[in-house]
Structure 1
Amino acid sequence: MGSGVRSATTAAMALACAAVILSAPGVAYAAPTPTPAPAPSTAPTTDPDLTPAPGATPVSNEQLEAVREDLDTLYHDAAVATDAYNLAEERTEQQSTQIVGLAREIVEGKARLDKLKERTGAAARAQYRGGGLPDEARLVLSDDPQDFLEGAGRARQGAQATKGLLAEMRRTQQDLEQYARDAAAQWKKLEANREARAKAKKKVKEQIAAAEKLESALQKEERKRLAKLEQQAARRAQTTWLDSGVLDDISRKASARGKKAVEYATAQIGKPYEWGAEGPKTFDCSGLTSQAWAAAGQGIPRTSQEQWKQLDRVAVEAMRPGDLIIYNSDASHVAMYLGDGAMVHAPRPGRTVTIAGAGSMPILGVVRPG
């Protein structure tokens, strides 16, 4: 393991116990499970960082809290659309590969059919040269009955061979017809997924653009106050999760592959989020987790929703470093557990891969790739 990876992993474990985890920027801001935290308070605060600056028309903390909630919704919807895009992209690649395979089968099948036709034609020509007479007539015309019997035996063998060739031709023709039907069906699916991918891409861009527009309308000082509100929301959610006692039974160590996955994921800290990206320079949430486990030698589904559907589920109390934490009721976000209540994830557009509290978002469940 390189020194950079070792230091990143060590930092991840140390930071998990520190207050910086509780206030790490870039996390989502909803309440965790098993018990949802109360809705963030909109009561006035005495925190000087949240006090509107004098001069310009102030934006109240209540208004900023509403902005924060709107941003959460927009980025959540963008994450859902990103998952849909990634799934359509993955299926498009699979169907393209299947179509190429079917095309190869059709080419090979046609070549095989041509050879069978040639052999069948040769057998027919040989029969024609024999006069095509029935056995009884050839027996009457034969000068030597023994020669006839031997010839008749060869003729029967030839007839059986020809019959076998014809049967093989029929099977090959049927295979070709099935390949053609399968290819046509895959083309339809391919086109459908291309349309789904295009729609999802449009949706992602619309949601991100709306979120960026909302944030850009704020003054610099207001954006700082908004970031402070985000940190406070994440801290409250993480504290509630830790206070639930969920970590009391978590004392398991990572598997060998789990350690490698953690090393990969933590080595990406600081790299920008980009929807649809799976490295090496940018990542979305499931791009990070899927590539981390690929680096560990374990292939897993590309999207957070498919990871939730297909991977083995474990209890939150049984999770260990390297396990994937699935967030939100629609499985729209995923992170990797580091241990000691911390996780690493690619949060959302405008943020970088970072460490955060594992309970800073509502946990749907935990899955274990291997």
Structure 2
Amino acid sequence: MGPSKCGILTTAVTVVYTVSVLAAPNVTFASPAPAPAPPPSASASSSLPQRTDLKAVREQLRQLYHDAAVATEAYNAAEEASEKQCARIVALAKENIKLQEKLAYLKGQAGAAARAQYRTGGLPPEAQLVLSDDPEMFLDSTATLYQGERATQGVIGEIARAQKELERNARVASAQWQKLEAQRKAKAAAEKLITRQIATAEKLESKLEKEEKERLAKLDREAELMAQTAWLNSGIVKDIKGQASEAGERAVRFAMAQLGKPYVWGAEGPDSYDCSGLTSQAWAAAGRSIVRTSQEQWNRLKRIDMKDMRPGDLIIYFKDATHVSMYIGDGMMVHAPRPGRAVTVAGAGSMPILGVVRPDA
């Protein structure tokens, strides 16, 4: 994978952060929290079949790619969180630059007031009245002096508030950087797991002869067709009569324009996609920003009864919501299936459906 958006942004803001935030006094920084351990995967370490039992091979590949999808969702979630964390850190850095400038200005005002008091010799107003050659002018200047004293006290109060604000921001920024580091480690752990799962699957497939690969692909098609036929025979498609919204039509057009582009985990286009990268970018093109991962799309978008489904809606698959497609009508969907495959059109019921969500509800 290439450098993340957040990684580039973090590098750019580090110098600003160091100067404007860490310079605040009396602030300590804790060690980053340990990254969460990657989920165990029995399939990644399992041995390859001793004989070419294609059904067993197919099941093992299915599990390997499913585990890779789970890790991909974890990676995508950490990436999305990192980008938000970076934005918060940048905002804090900018705020602290303004506070530093304000503090410098206030200190300048306080210094000017102190120099003015020094020029009067620090004499109390009564003594200055006795020594004055023009009492009336002195009384006018005394009123000004009192106003100046009050203004000076206000400046000192503002300085104290600005310093406290800097210290508070430094503590907040410290916590944000700890979270960012934890997210970085979570991404690295997920990336390692994804790479291992895909490598194991590719190694398993590489042991198959050409004829066996063709038979395996046929088994996949047959299983998908059987699932789609059962879904159609349930009569559900006859009840689906919803028409796409304008935004839904735009999202479908975008997704269909990506046909043939390869699945790459963590990818959001324009040359490759993973499943939720495709759906989130399709809806972004339609003018609606949605959450990045299929699990968050399931958790946070409005759920729709299947009979009310319309083109542009997202279909979430598997009990753990680790795959997502976009419904395009007539019982079909478009999706980015898995590593080694490309964006394609398939039967909407060709995988176990968890539910349906609507981005523009």
Q: TM-score, normalised by structure 1?
A: 0.80
1:321 and 2:323 are equivalent in the alignment: no
Structure 1 residue 119 corresponds to structure 2 residue 109: yes
How far, CA to CA, are the matches of 1:344 and 1:90 in structure 2? 24
Equivalent residue runs for 1:194-233 within 5 Å: 194-233=184-223
Report the AA paired with residue 347 of structure 1: P
Q: Could you tell me how far apart the structure 2 residues matched to 1:58 and 1:194 are?
A: 41
Separation of aligned partners in 1, 2:234 and 2:103: 70
Task: Give the structure with higher Rg (CA).
Answer: 1
Say whether residues 1:263 and 2:253 are aligned partners.
yes
Aligned to 2:334: 344
Matches within 5 A, 1:137-152: 137-152=127-142
Q: Output the CA distance in 2 between the equivalents of 1:292 and 1:250.
A: 22
The residue number in structure 2 matching 1:76 is 66
Deviation at residue 291 of structure 1 after TM alignment: 1.1
Distance 1:58 1:97 in 2: 53
- Equivalence map 1:51-70=2 (5 Å): 59=52, 63-70=53-60
Match of 1:109 in 2: 99
Residue 68 of structure 2 aligns to a residue whose secondary structure is helix
What is the deviation of 1:296?
1.1
Percent identical pairs in the alignment equals 62
Q: Please show how residues 216-365 of structure 1 align to structure 2 within 5 Å.
A: 216-365=206-355
Q: CA deviation at 1:58?
A: 8.4
Q: Residue 211 of structure 1: CA displacement?
A: 1.1
Unaligned 5+ runs, structure 2: 1-49
Select 2:76's aligned residue among 63, 86, 93: 86
Match of 1:193 in 2: 183
Tell me how far 1:101 sits from its aligned partner. 2.6
User: What is the CA–CA distance in structure 1 between the aligned matches of 2:152 and 2:352, rounded to whole Å?
Assistant: 70
- How many Å apart are 1:130 and its aligned residue? 2.0
User: By how many angstroms is 1:184 displaced?
Assistant: 1.4
SS at match of 1:355: strand
**2:105 counterpart SS class:** helix
Measure, in 2, the Cα distance between the counterparts of 1:99 and 1:224: 52
SS at match of 1:302: coil
Aligned to 2:150: 160
Between 1 and 2, higher relative CO (CA 8 Å, sep ≥ 6) is seen in 1
2 CA distance for matches of 1:329 and 1:134? 81
Partner Cα distance (2:268, 2:181) in 1: 24
Distance in 1 between the 2:113 and 2:335 partners? Answer: 69
Provide the residue aligned with 1:34 in structure 2. Answer: none
- Distance in 2 of aligned mates of 1:75 and 1:190: 28
Q: Aligned equivalents of 1:338 and 1:188: distance in 2?
A: 42
Q: What is the distance in 1 between the residues matched to 2:262 and 2:174?
A: 40
Output the CA distance in 2 between the equivalents of 1:58 and 1:72: 18
Q: Which amino acid aligns with 2:118?
A: Y
Number of aligned residues: 311
Deviation at residue 321 of structure 1 after TM alignment? 0.1
Which SS does the other structure have where 2:225 is aligned?
helix
Report the CA distance between 1:358 and its aligned residue.
0.8
Specify the SS of the correspondent of 1:283.
Answer: coil
Q: Which residue number corresponds to residue 181 of structure 1?
A: 171
Pick the aligned partner of 1:99 from 82, 89, 93: 89
Q: Please give the secondary structure, in 1, of the residue aligned with 2:251.
A: helix
The code of the aligned residue for 1:172 comes to A
Partner of 2:8: none
Gaps of at least 5 residues in structure 1 are 1-56
Q: Secondary structure at the match of 2:310?
A: coil
Counterpart residue number, 2:4: none
1:131 aligns to what SS in structure 2?
A: coil
CA distance, structure 2, for counterparts of residue 241 and residue 106 of structure 1: 58
CA distance in 2, matches of 1:269, 1:127: 77
Matched residue type, 1:286: S
The Cα shift of 1:144 comes to 4.6
SS of 1:218's equivalent in the other structure is coil
Q: Which moved more, 1:141-150 or 1:291-300?
A: 141-150
Task: Report the alpha carbon displacement of residue 140 of structure 1 after superposing the two structures with TM.
Answer: 3.9
Q: Distance in 1 between matches of 2:133 and 2:101?
A: 44
Aligned-residue RMSD, C-alpha: 1.7
**Aligned twin of 2:18:** none
The amino acid of 1:184's aligned partner reads: S
Give the TM-score normalised by the residue count of structure 2. 0.82
Which residue does 1:52 correspond to in 2?
none
Aligned to 1:170: 160
Moved more, 138-147 or 117-126: 138-147
Deviation at 1:142, TM superposition (A): 4.0
